[in-house]
Amino acid sequence: MRNLPSFSRWLRRLSPLAPAVLLLCAPPTARPLEPGALTAVERVETLSPAEVDRIVAGLFEEVKQPAAVFPVDCYTLRFQSLYPDGSAASATAQLFVPRNTESGPPTIMYLFAPGSTGLINSCRPSREHIAGIRWGLYRSHVLAFAGQGFLGVLPDYLGFGDPGRLQPYMSAVAEGRLVLDAIRAARRFLEQKGWSLPRGKPAVFVSGFSQGGHAIFAAADLQRAYAPEVRLSGIIGYGPTTDLEALFREFPVAAPMAIYTYSQIYGTARFDPGVILQSRWAGSLARDVTRQCVGGMQQYYPWSARELFAPAFADALFARDLQARYPEIHRILKENSTGLTRHRVPCLILQGTDDIVVRPASQVQFVRQLCKAGSAVRYVVYQGRHDTRQVGYWEALEWMRALADGQPAPSNCRTLEDQP
């Protein structure tokens, strides 16, 4: 990866006419592709309601499973996006189109950003159902909504499927662009089907689990500058991890992927793994994060921050004193923390009581900050662990339908002000 400008500096100088990339095979007079432009559409299969139910069943093993109402046409989209340095990015998304569209396009789009799977192409989320891996059954999750009549969009992060590239893990610019360009590509697909799309239709809801929560809030932060024509109707975070310093403290096993990414983006003079990690982990960082997917890394790296980080860095991290002791590292972590730019998009946050990736106290703090930034936030806590997608399915379904019908966004911000 090339050295990239900081997120905040990039935001200040960004215009909607961001640099685009010429098609390699295009004649000299061809116009450059815009971000979100479709470059390929592949029809994969059509699933009957019974087939959707069979696929979804593995995800809803412990809670009530929705019964699919509609058949679903499955596609693979290739579309244009941009890496944070402005260079061309070829991105991929799975698209799920319910067959309830005789009178027009689907009225609700549900984009889901997946949790962490790894940095290398063999870890791409779109490979999960093909290889029989269980990272999160992300395709099943989106199909559960498509079977109810929602247009489902499941993108791979930038870098996946792009030769010679790695995923820019937890890069706010990369993730936010990817989400917004996937929305653009899905809308262009509908337009190519011959449907006229008035402004605000379909209603667009972006959702994400864990890292995906970081990505969707990055999209909300970037939307006005990068994709002003995209209107977000709501954000759903399933255990979203938006605060990088909190993530390093509470779930350090994910930190090496972010540390390597930032060292490549910003350079080791600004973000040095040797300063952050103990020497036994820093010396082989590049090899270790590029030879395995997330499951292997969770077995390889220690789950204790004190065992992973250099003692001085760990002391500063837990003392909440990175700004004073490691100002450049603190600045980069803050620039890549997401969600608090006063975007004012309504939010639904679904949190588990026993979440070990983002602790409930950290999530409450984030929700309070969202409320202060002007968003209507419904915050729901379930008994259980990090993944709240299944137990929160019905809550998310009804929340989206209500907002798409024009009902006011519910909020329990005032109640949270009184909680410790």
The alpha-helical segments, DSSP class H, found in 132-272 are 138-146, 172-192, 211-226, 244-250, 255-266
Let me know if 265 is exposed, middle or buried by CB neighbors in 10 A (0-12, 13-18, 19+). buried
* DSSP sequence for 346-374: -EEEEEETT-SSS-HHHHHHHHHHHHHTT
Q: What is the DSSP letter of 126?
A: G
| pLDDT value of residue 10 | 38
Residue type for position 124: R
- Alpha-carbon span 271 to 43, nearest angstrom: 43
Residues 191-218: what's their mean pLDDT? Answer: 90
* DSSP sequence for 227-245: -TT--EEEEEEES----HH
- Total count of residues recorded for the chain: 420
pLDDT at 8 over 50: no
CB 357 within 8 A of CB 350: no
Confidence of residue 304 (pLDDT cuts 50, 70, 90): very high
**pLDDT tens column, 122-135:** 999 999 999 888 89
% residues pLDDT > 70 (the chain): 91
| pLDDT value of residue 57 | 95
Domains annotated on the chain, with CATH: 7-243+337-417 (3.40.50.1820), 245-335 (1.10.260)
Alpha-carbon distance values, 114 to 123, 129, 272 (Å): 12, 13, 28
| pLDDT value of residue 3 | 39
| pLDDT value of residue 106 | 86
Residue 100, C-beta contacts closer than 8 angstroms, at least 6 positions apart: 69, 70, 106, 149
| pLDDT value of residue 193 | 86
Residue 350, C-beta contacts closer than 8 angstroms, at least 6 positions apart: 236, 237, 238, 239, 380, 382, 388, 389, 391, 392, 395, 396
CB 87 within 8 A of CB 21: yes
| 195-208 b/e (C-beta count within 10 Å ≥ 16 → b) | eeeeeebbbbbbbb
pTM of the model: 0.90
Residue 159, C-beta contacts closer than 8 angstroms, at least 6 positions apart: 89, 119, 121, 165, 166, 167, 168, 174
Residues 262-289: what's their mean pLDDT? Answer: 97
User: What is the DSSP pairing of strand 72-82 with strand 38-47?
Assistant: antiparallel
| pLDDT value of residue 27 | 39
Residue 295, C-beta contacts closer than 8 angstroms, at least 6 positions apart: 135
Average model confidence (pLDDT) across the chain: 90
**pLDDT tens column, 247-256:** 999 999 999 9
| pLDDT value of residue 20 | 30
| pLDDT value of residue 9 | 43
Residues 161-168: what's their mean pLDDT? Answer: 93
> What contacts 24+ positions apart, CB below 8 Å, involve 286-292?
286/260, 288/256, 289/119, 289/256, 289/257, 289/260, 290/119, 290/120, 290/166, 291/120, 292/118
